[in-house]
Structure 1
Amino acid sequence: MADILKVTTPLSGYDNSTIKNNPQAGQGIHIQNPIDPSKVMRGDNRTDSGGTGDQQLAFQYGSNFGAFLNLVKNIPDLSKIFADIFFQGEEVLTGGIMGEEAAQKIASFFEATQMQAEEILPFIKEQTESAVRFNGGIFDQLRQVMAETTSVDLKAEVLNFIRKFNDMSSGKHILHDIFNTVKDMEAYVFKQTREQIESFLKELDLSAPEGQTSPNSALLKEKLLPFLGRYIAMNHDMGTIRDKISLLTVLIARYENGDRGEVLQSFSRLTGYQGFRKFFGSMTMEQFGELLHQVDMEQAAGKNQWADKFIDFLKAGVNGDAGLENKQMFQNILQSMVLNESVYMPLIHLAFPMNVDGRKLFSEMWIDPDEEGSSTQAGAKHTARIFVKFDIRELGQFKLLLLYGDNAATLQLYYPEKMQKSEADIHKGIKNILDRHHFRADNIYLQAGGGPSSPVEVFPKIHERKNSVDVRI
């Protein structure tokens, strides 16, 4: 028995010759310095990323940022997936049995993708401006404050103000999310409780203007949440409704945080910093309040009709309305788009299908409008870096890398191999486009096939956090 259990301490009544040492007690030949939680140990050649001893600064794949990089590298190619769906055509996607509402959303989206050649540039410009959430004079000045100040407190106050403004401009959207979350709870409670929840929803003012949150916040915090808390305590319901209550509390906190008075007070605190007054002068809280009246909250909240139709289309696909065989592809598309909106992604990401004069194409692009902001580009002139993947029906996938600034451009284009005989015409066409827009082409590089597959390979700025401390929670 002693041999089976690998007992290492002699016991009375056993022959010591039969007791063997635990083979795991020794140190493996590949472990120079085993981990001891009770001590601070030398790191020797261990790397959590699985690298060699030379990779002393390799990022940890167990960290949040390491997980993000892995996802970006391994995520399915959105341009290929969506192109396959988009090129099927409206007739294929709307075939079979589906609800009238879903069919209408899909048809509306396909109609929105149709445009003329001269409409492409204004469309891309509109989508780019919508992708930048905070724009306008106030936020341009706040960016200058953040760039020049060395005060950690001032930066924290600026970020706190932006967070409150963001919640205020999104007030109606958050309120509707609250309504839908509470409405979903009705399916998980008893009839009497459901009736009480419905009465609370009737009191909720969904037409309340952004910034005027007090009446709805009072109803949600003083009546609805205590009622739901009592329901959980009495019924010991630890299922779906408890998870929805957790989501509800976060939404209520955001909604209350967007109160107009909170935004004004946050601005008032900023006026106490010299670094802030350098750009805003002696603007008072009252003057800023007048500016808020002139702000288009829908635009500030990123309202975009085309994007809304795109989202409705994706929702229909994820729900299986575009065919169950396409459901997984829609889920991959949604995952890719959410990933590209990560807080770790320092780039503008755009993705849109277009039907131009009857020819369908899908384009995805990543834009860094501030290339010299990267530590790897110290001292460089003002430049922008763009990576575009676009798929044209009947031709195939193209990949474009563009670095431009000071009216000069360096361009790399990877085109489908079957177009190799047309390389001279492609080069001439690109040169004409650059000349038409008064850009000097320092270098135009063309290659059949190949090219980078992920923005991680193109933008060094994405890697800048790899040596920072990052702990997964």
Structure 2
Amino acid sequence: MADILKVTTPLSGYDNSTIKNNPQAGQGVQIQNPVDPSKVMRADNRTDSGGNGDQQLAFQYGSNFGSFLNQVKNIPDLTKIMTDIFFQSEEMLTGGVMGEEAAQKIASFFEAAQMEGEDILPFIKEQAESAVRFNGGIFDQLRHVMAETTSVDLKAEILNFIRKFNDMSSGKHILHDIFNTVKDMEAYVFRQTREQIEALLKELDLSAPEGQTSQNSALLKEKILPFLGRYIAMNHDMGTIRDKISLLTVLIARYENGDREEVLQSFSKLAGYQGFRKFFGAMTAEQFGELLNQVDMEQAAGKNQWADKFVDFLRTGVNGGTGLENKQMFQNMLQSLVLNESVYMPLLHLAFPMNINGRKLFSEMWIDPDEEGSSTQAGAKHTSRIFVKFDIKELGLFKLLLLYGDHAASLQLFYPEKMQKSEANIYKEIKNILDRYHFRADSLYLQAGGGPSSPVEVFPKIHERKNSVDVRI
């Protein structure tokens, strides 16, 4: 009998003429084999996750990062969508399709976009600062610690501290999310159960300060969650309400993680590392607690009045408040904004409309404040790369690429083709702006039309993980 565990010499008498060659052996490597789930097929140059073989490794089929890159390439054009809405705002408000509440929210957002010329710089600065959650002296020092230390444990403790501080500063927001999640469950239960849920929600203290979570956490874990668990067990309800409980448990965990005592204990652990004391000295948890009393938690949580109005504007459109024909546009806007906040997007993304003395424009920008590497490292060259798309009503779409650092700037501007006769004036005014702020122009390039359309074409840093092993779970 043939030994199937190792290679053996065939016995004489085998009819070798019956051995068939592999029908795929002579096929070229460029053949795109169809996917057959019943057997293993040759991969060839097929790239199920998009792109060609040079752009993506074969083992990245369906990876999270590959999926992200594909979405970025096909992302809805936020600038195009927003200008279509913003430039015809009066028609939207007077179209007769909105209720009074929806019209008021839309009008409030358009009113917030009106400003004078001198308001532009403070406004952009405010939006940029709000987009960066962790700023201020403490977090600047923590960045220095992260840049210099080689201790994995210290880095892990810093990240743990930041998570706790983040949850504490967002305490009120998380609590309201918890309340709304439980409130939404009332639509999926019987009337008697609904009344019991309402009674439990009345015990929830929505005015509790950030960091003081013990009372609400006890109510949530000892009364509300067990009650909802018993309801599911008794009624075998495995539908929407069960999914909402999964979300509720995550929110409760975040809310409890933001307890003030948890934050102070996390800071005390950091104080035991020499790399931490190098920058913070002998600061104790009690001294840090006094600093927390002076922190504006709303600002630390990224509270921004303009952003709140923008969220109301989006929510109104997504819910169909501006008419069902506009609903898809708002959903595309939301998809674009969420994708630009992905953990894989190493850039600061800002988008806002402006109505400056009656002239409307919409601007979208991507900023890499640290083009060369970690700006916290001693002696590191600080270089920033910026990509801006701005559409001015009655003029058209502009695209700006700016690389600057050490008081030097390289700039490319792609302007609407109909302004080609004004190129000399545009060049002169840009030079004046650079001179006014004491920047040396290493290069200044102007072109009518064209230019990149996506940040993927401008920022190589987005592709930094393309050659890494990354799988979808």
TM-score normalised to structure 2 length: 0.89
Distance in 2, matches of 1:93 and 1:390, equals 24
> 1:404 corresponds to which residue?
404
- 1:101-112 matches, within 5 Å, as 101-112=101-112
How far the C-alpha of 1:320 sits from its partner, in A, is 1.4
Whether contact under 8 Å (1:58, 1:467) holds in the other structure is: no
Cα shift at 1:53: 6.5
Secondary structure at the residue paired with 1:387?
A: strand
Q: How does 1:169-318 map to 2 (within 5 A)?
A: 169-318=169-318
The reply to whether residue 73 of structure 1 matches residue 77 of structure 2 is no
- Distance (Å, rounded) in 2 between the aligned partners of 1:361 and 1:56: 37
Structure 1 counterpart of 2:358:
358
Partner of 2:13: none
RMSD: 2.6
8 Å CA contact retained: 1:47, 1:55? no
1:15 corresponding residue in structure 2? none
In structure 2, stretches of 5+ residues that fail to align are: 1-17
SS of residue in 2 equivalent to 1:373: coil
AA in 1 matched with 2:168: M
Q: Are the counterparts in 1 of residues 68 and 344 from structure 2 also a CA contact under 8 Å?
A: yes
| Match runs of 1:405-444 below 5 Å | 405-444=405-444
Say whether the 8 Å CA contact 1:44–1:53 is kept in structure 2.
no
Task: Give deviations 1:136-174, integer Å, cap 9, x for gaps.
Answer: 000000001111111111111100100000000000000
Counterpart in the other structure of 2:464:
464
Residue aligned with 1:350, SS: strand
How far has the Cα of 1:252 moved from its partner?
0.5
Q: CA deviation at 1:95?
A: 2.5
Which whole-Å CA distance do the structure 2 matches of 1:118 and 1:208 have between them? 39
1:289 CA displacement:
0.8
Deviation at 1:46, TM superposition (A): 7.4
Contact 1:367–1:387 under 8 Å retained in 2 = yes
Q: Which runs of 5+ in 1 are unaligned?
A: 1-19
Deviation at 1:77, TM superposition (A): 1.1
Cα deviation digits, residues 161-214 of structure 1 (max 9, x gap) = 000000000000000000001001001000010011001100000000000000
Residue 235 of structure 2 aligns with an amino acid whose one-letter code is N
Q: Letter of the 1:338 partner, please give it.
A: V
Partner SS state of residue 346, structure 1: coil
Partner of 2:395 in structure 1? 395
- Confirm whether residue 132 of structure 1 aligns to residue 100 of structure 2: no
Contact 1:354 1:361 in 2 (8 A): yes
Identity %, equivalent residues = 86
Q: 8 Å contact 2:56–2:466 — kept in the other structure?
A: no
Q: Aligned AA for 1:279?
A: F
Identify if the C-alpha distance between structure 1 residues 431 and 187 changes in structure 2 by more than 3 Å, giving closer, same or farther: same
Aligned residue type for 2:158:
V
Q: What corresponds to 1:155 in structure 2?
A: 155
Structure 1: how far apart are the matches of 2:374 and 2:143?
16
Question: Match of 1:372, SS?
Answer: coil
Paired AA for residue 248 in structure 1: L
Going from structure 1 to structure 2, the CA distance change for 1:236 and 1:83 (only over 3 Å counts) comes to: same
CA-CA distance at 1:469 after TM superposition: 2.1
| CA contact 2:117–2:356 (8 Å) conserved in 1 | yes
CA distance in 2, matches of 1:51, 1:68: 12
Which is further off, 292-301 or 422-431?
422-431
- 1:114 is matched with 114
Task: Give the SS at the match of 2:361.
Answer: strand
Deviation of 1:425 (Å): 1.1
Amino acid at match of 2:289: G
In the alignment, residue 382 of structure 1 is paired with which amino acid? H
When residues 444 and 27 of structure 1 are mapped into structure 2, their CA distance, relative to the original with a 3 A threshold, is same
Partners of 2:55 and 2:466 within 8 A in 1 = no
SS state of the match for residue 162, structure 1? helix
Would the alpha carbon gap of residues 55 and 334 (structure 1) be closer, same or farther in structure 2, given more than 3 Å must change? closer
* Structure 2: distance between partners of 1:449 and 1:178: 49
- SS at 1:320 equivalent: coil
Matched position secondary structure for 1:413:
strand
- 89-98 or 455-464, which deviates more: 89-98
CA offset digits 1:302-321 (Å, max 9, x no partner): 00001101111111111111
**Alpha-carbon distance in structure 2 between the residues aligned to 1:124 and 1:280:** 32
**Any idea what SS the aligned residue of 2:76 has?**
coil
**1:408–1:61: structure 2 CA closer, same or farther, 3 Å change rule?**
farther
Indicate the residue corresponding to 1:323 in structure 2: 323
Q: Which moved more, 1:168-177 or 1:268-277?
A: 268-277
Q: Quick one: structure 1 residues 255 and 51, their matched pair in 2 at CA, closer, same or farther if it must change by over 3 Å?
A: closer
* Distance (whole Å) between structure 1 residues aligned to residue 283 and residue 191 of structure 2: 55
Q: Is the 8 A contact 1:396 1:416 kept in 2?
A: yes
Contact 1:387-1:399 within 8 A present in 2 as well:
yes
